[in-house]
């Protein structure tokens, strides 16, 4: 397995990925590009009871939301979707997305700012862009464990190689891979919000993935996909770090070429590792799989994600207990239900409750207590206080509920949950969705709850796109939380937007 990390960088240059296209290159003049550019104006307001807004009024909105019971924002987005050039040799996309927010963690928000350039099956992204869920329904799923849609996007330079056929397989075995480096932008926010209690600044970011797909939907309706996703935070500085051997300490980490190579290959170590070097930085990721049925009227898929921290769950030596397991069905066109999702999330095991390094009297190394999304040196798998992964692992912004005011730590990462999502399109003008989640939390291994805590999250939402007002859209959502994890709340959210195309 270790050899994979050395081979991966060279796979980014794998020649078969550059497959010639028969289509024309990007055509047209600047007026064509201008006419394909959309501008969206949006306003949104949330009002609720309780200490926090209902979870599903806040979660999985790319971080442009607030956990506070009262909030609103005004937003302007200019964007050209790179998919408009699908089938052409050259593709171009760009976007700028800003918001003025009240009751949020920031008042002025740069949500997106990016340029994308594609050539054949290669695509380069520079900037900060909202990336969609890859194997899940973004409206109905609870979200991915590693690369979710719960937090604000991270600025990066990312190179994608889109699906290409492995030589000699005629499309029955396809590959896809990508890699990126970026940087976290919430350092000053961490320092202010945590009130100088354990925070990090100037932290760098890394992601990479390799996916395989077997099958051809145009020949047989079943396809199978398996992938390995990696992410990491490295470099920068950590302040007020407490270890078992010292008082609060500041650590500065290497941010040069060697640090970039070590996070790519999952090598190196940190100053806090002591006599037992680990892997440098905060490294994590997921194994992902999906089986899809590509019917003419029915569509269905089953998917599975297994999260891991460091190396301990990268293989199956500790068993497979924790997972996100889901299924989705898309129904033939009807006025009632369009899609249905059912998911189970379990993160209670985390390779077990026992951890110890080798000693003279006990030479075996046991790597339990993985402590999902947390890290000794960094603030963990969060951005501006929101989980970058699945929101049912309670984000630090909710820590007032646990009496841990302004601590950048995930105090509830051992959970089990069941979730149902439904959506429908009664007409061309109306769309609705409903979410219902039941969760049970045990805290963490190091800081368990005295008693397990149960919580229910519910959402009912309707969207209206009137034919008589082209480009206008209104969405009314009602959310309900009930339980002893983050408390009870009931609230509503109204969002109104207008989209238009530029003309010249």
CA–CA distances in Å: residue 176 to residues 20, 120, 339: 16, 14, 27
Mean pLDDT of the region 422-432: 96
Range in 150-154, 193-197, 391-395, 444-448 with the lowest mean pLDDT: 193-197
Q: Does residue 242 register a pLDDT over 80?
A: no
Range in 96-105, 158-167, 178-187, 310-319 with the lowest mean pLDDT: 310-319
Q: Does residue 330 register a pLDDT over 70?
A: yes
Mean pLDDT of the region 55-73: 97
DSSP state letters, 397-443: GGGGGGT-TT--S-S---EEEEEEEEEE-SSSSEEEEEEEEEEEEEE
Place 26 in a pLDDT band, splitting at 50, 70 and 90: very low
Place 274 in a pLDDT band, splitting at 50, 70 and 90: low
Mean pLDDT of the region 67-93: 94
| pLDDT tens string 120-143 | 999 999 999 999 999 999 999 999
In this predicted structure, what is the pLDDT of residue 241? 74
Q: Which of 148, 136, 210, 151 is nearest to 179 (CA)?
A: 210
Mean pLDDT of the region 415-440: 97
In this predicted structure, what is the pLDDT of residue 275? 56
Q: Does residue 269 register a pLDDT over 80?
A: no
Place 267 in a pLDDT band, splitting at 50, 70 and 90: confident
In this predicted structure, what is the pLDDT of residue 33? 63
Q: Does residue 27 register a pLDDT over 70?
A: no
Determine the Cα–Cα distance for residues 136 and 255; give it in Å rounded to an integer. 34
In this predicted structure, what is the pLDDT of residue 20? 34
Quote the tokens at residue 431.
């769309």
Q: Does residue 193 register a pLDDT over 80?
A: yes
| pLDDT tens string 372-397 | 999 988 999 999 999 999 999 999 99
Place 315 in a pLDDT band, splitting at 50, 70 and 90: confident
Percent of the chain with pLDDT over 70: 86
Range in 212-221, 305-314, 353-362 with the lowest mean pLDDT: 353-362
| pLDDT tens string 483-504 | 999 999 999 999 999 999 887 6
**DSSP 3-state assignment of 125?**
strand
In this predicted structure, what is the pLDDT of residue 369? 73
Residue 350: other Cβ atoms inside 10 A: 24
The continuous run of DSSP H or E covering 239 comes out as: strand 237-243
Mean pLDDT of the region 74-85: 94
Domain edges within the chain: 2-166+175-501
In this predicted structure, what is the pLDDT of residue 16? 36
Q: Does residue 318 register a pLDDT over 70?
A: yes
C-alpha torsion 232→235→240→241, nearest 10: 50
The continuous run of DSSP H or E covering 187 comes out as: helix 187-193
Quote the tokens at residue 344.
């189970």
Q: Does residue 19 register a pLDDT over 50?
A: no
- Evaluate whether 366 touches 358 at the Cβ level (below 8 Å): no
Mean pLDDT of the region 46-62: 97
Place 8 in a pLDDT band, splitting at 50, 70 and 90: very low
Quick one: CATH architecture of 2-166+175-501? Beta Barrel (2.40)
In this predicted structure, what is the pLDDT of residue 79? 96
In this predicted structure, what is the pLDDT of residue 2? 41
More confident residue, 276 or 299: 299
Average pLDDT value over all residues in the chain? 88
In this predicted structure, what is the pLDDT of residue 357? 52
Q: Does residue 13 register a pLDDT over 60?
A: no
Distance of alpha carbon 324 from the chain centroid: 14
Mean pLDDT of the region 175-183: 97
Mean pLDDT of the region 306-334: 87
Distance of alpha carbon 205 from the chain centroid: 14
Q: Does residue 4 register a pLDDT over 50?
A: no
Percent of the chain with pLDDT over 90: 74
Residue in the block written with tokens 């790519």: 264
Range in 125-134, 140-149, 190-199, 212-221 with the lowest mean pLDDT: 190-199
DSSP state letters, 5-52: HHHHHHHTT-GGG----SSPPS-S-HHHHHHT-EEEEEEEEEEESSSS
In this predicted structure, what is the pLDDT of residue 370? 87
Residue in the block written with tokens 């949006």: 42
């Amino acid at each position: 397995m270790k050899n994979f990390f050395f081979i991966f960088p060279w796979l980014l240059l794998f020649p078969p990925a550059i497959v010639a296209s028969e289509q024309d290159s990007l055509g047209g003049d600047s007026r064509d590009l201008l006419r394909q550019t959309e501008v969206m104006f949006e306003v949104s307001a949330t009002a609720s009871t309780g200490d926090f807004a209902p979870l599903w009024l806040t979660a999985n909105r790319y971080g442009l939301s607030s956990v506070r019971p009262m909030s609103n924002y005004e937003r302007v987005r200019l964007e050209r979707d790179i998919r408009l050039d699908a089938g052409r040799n050259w593709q171009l996309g760009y976007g700028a997305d800003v918001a003025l927010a009240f009751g949020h963690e920031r008042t002025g928000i740069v949500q997106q700012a990016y340029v994308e350039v594609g050539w054949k099956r290669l695509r380069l992204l520079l900037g900060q862009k909202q990336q969609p869920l890859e194997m899940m329904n973004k409206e109905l799923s609870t979200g991915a464990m590693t690369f979710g849609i719960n937090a604000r996007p991270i600025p990066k330079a990312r190179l994608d190689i889109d699906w290409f056929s492995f030589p000699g397989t005629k499309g029955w075995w396809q590959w896809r891979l990508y890699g990126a480096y970026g940087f976290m932008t919430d350092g000053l926010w961490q320092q202010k919000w945590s009130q100088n209690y354990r925070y990090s600044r100037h932290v760098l970011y890394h992601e990479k993935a390799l996916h395989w797909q077997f099958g051809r939907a145009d020949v047989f309706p079943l396809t199978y996909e398996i992938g390995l996703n990696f992410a990491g935070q490295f470099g920068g500085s950590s302040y007020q770090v407490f270890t078992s051997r010292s008082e609060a300490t500041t650590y500065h980490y290497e941010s040069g070429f060697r640090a970039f190579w070590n996070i790519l290959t999952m090598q190196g170590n940190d100053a806090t590792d002591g006599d037992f070097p680990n892997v440098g930085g905060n490294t994590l990721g997921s194994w992902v799989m999906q089986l899809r049925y590509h019917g003419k009227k029915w569509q269905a898929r089953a998917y599975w994600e297994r999260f891991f921290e460091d190396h301990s769950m990268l293989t199956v030596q500790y068993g497979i207990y924790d997972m996100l397991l889901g299924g989705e069905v898309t129904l033939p066109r009807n006025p009632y239900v369009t899609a249905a999702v059912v998911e189970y999330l379990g993160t209670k095991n985390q390779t077990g409750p026992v951890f110890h390094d080798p000693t003279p009297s006990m030479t075996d190394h046991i790597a339990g207590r993985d402590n999902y999304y947390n890290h000794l040196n960094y603030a963990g798998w969060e951005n501006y206080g929101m989980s970058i992964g699945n929101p049912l692992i309670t984000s630090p912004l909710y820590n007032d509920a646990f009496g841990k005011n302004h601590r950048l730590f995930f105090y509830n990462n051992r959970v089990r949950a069941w979730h149902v999502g439904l959506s429908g399109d009664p007409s061309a003008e109306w769309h609705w969705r409903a979410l219902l989640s039941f969760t049970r939390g045990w805290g963490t291994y190091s800081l368990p709850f005295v008693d397990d805590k149960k919580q229910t999250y519910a959402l009912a939402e309707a969207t209206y796109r009137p034919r008589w007002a082209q480009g206008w859209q209104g969405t009314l959502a009602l959310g309900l939380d009930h339980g002893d994890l983050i408390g009870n709340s009931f609230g509503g959210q109204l969002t109104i937007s207008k989209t238009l195309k530029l003309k010249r």
